[in-house]
Amino acid sequence: MTRLQEALQGLRQEGRAALMAYLCAGDPTIEASVEGLVAAAQAGADILEIGWPFSDPVADGPVIQAASERALRHTRRVDVISAVAALRARVAQPIAVLSYCNPLISSGRDETLRELAQAGADALVIPDLPLEESAPWREAAAALGLSITPFIAPTTDPQRLPQIAQAADGFVYAVALLGVTGAAEDKAESILPVVAALRRHKDVPVLAGFGIGDAAAAARWRSRGLDGVIVGSALVKAMAQEGAEGVRNLVRQIRAGLDNLG
C-alpha cells in the first residue's frame, strides 16, 4: 500500500475528511513555496499538492495562472524536482505534483517520472491527460510507486465511469463545477450523481476541487458525502498576501470546518 493510499484509508477509518492543499512551486520563490506547504502540513493538511508552473494552465483560473507566470520567471525543471525533495525531507504527508503534460514530457516522460519518484512524490495530477491515452502513463508511474489521479466532472459520460474507477489507485479528483479553479461555488452544477455512479463501480475516495476556498465551503462538500476537499486558489492568494503564515491560518480554519461538521 502506498503512502497516499494509507493516508486516505486511515482518514476513512477515523471518519475524517481529507484536506489537500495546493501551492505553485516557485511562487514567489522555491524556498517560500516549500515553506508554505510545510505550514499547510503543520496546520492540518493531509495531502500536499505542489504545482509545476506552466505557461498555459488551461484548467486554472486567474489566481493560479498569475502564480504560474510569476514562478516561470525564475523556476526551471530542476527547481521543481528540488522543491519536491525539500518538501519530502520535512513532511510525512503524501505529496502530489500537479502538472500539465508538456513539462513532464519535455525532458522525457519516464525520466521525469523517475526523478519525481526519487524526490519523494506519491502522485501526479495531470489535468490535460485524457483517460483514453493514460494507460502508458499509468503503467510507467505504477512501476515507480506513483499514482495518476483521474478526474470526474458534472459532464462525465456514465459509460466512462468503469474505466475511471479502474484507473483510480489513490483518489478521484471531482471537478465540483463547470469552469476553472477559483470560480464561485454558487455557480456549481451538481456532481453528486456522478460520484454516486462512480462508487457503484468502485468505492474509491473522491475529493472535490474547484471553487472551495473557506471552511464553510469545505464543510458543505463534506456534508454531501465527499471524502475530502482540494483547496488551491484561496491558498495561493493567502500566500501572496501573507506568506506562509497566511497559508497556515487558512488551512487551520478549513481543517476546523471539516472536523467540526455535524
Q: Which of 60, 115, 169, 227 is catalytic?
A: 60
Q: Say whether 186 is catalytic.
A: no
* Placement of cell 520535512 in the chain: 90
Query: Would you give the DSSP letter of residue 215?
Result: H
Using alpha carbons only, what angle is made at residue 49 by residues 262 and 231, rounded to the nearest 5 degrees?
Answer: 40
Q: b/e for 93-123, b at 16 or more Cβ within 10 A? A: bbbbbbbbbebbeeeeeeebbbbbbebbbbb
Q: In whole angstroms, what separates CA 247 from the centre of its chain?
A: 16
Burial of 159 (0-12, 13-18, 19+ CB in 10 A): exposed
Q: Say whether 111 is catalytic.
A: no
* Placement of cell 492543499 in the chain: 21
Q: Which among 213, 124, 131, 121 has a CA at the least distance from the CA of 164?
A: 131
The single-letter code of the amino acid at 76 is R
Q: Which of 49, 122, 169, 227 is catalytic?
A: 49
> Which residues are known to be catalytic?
49, 60
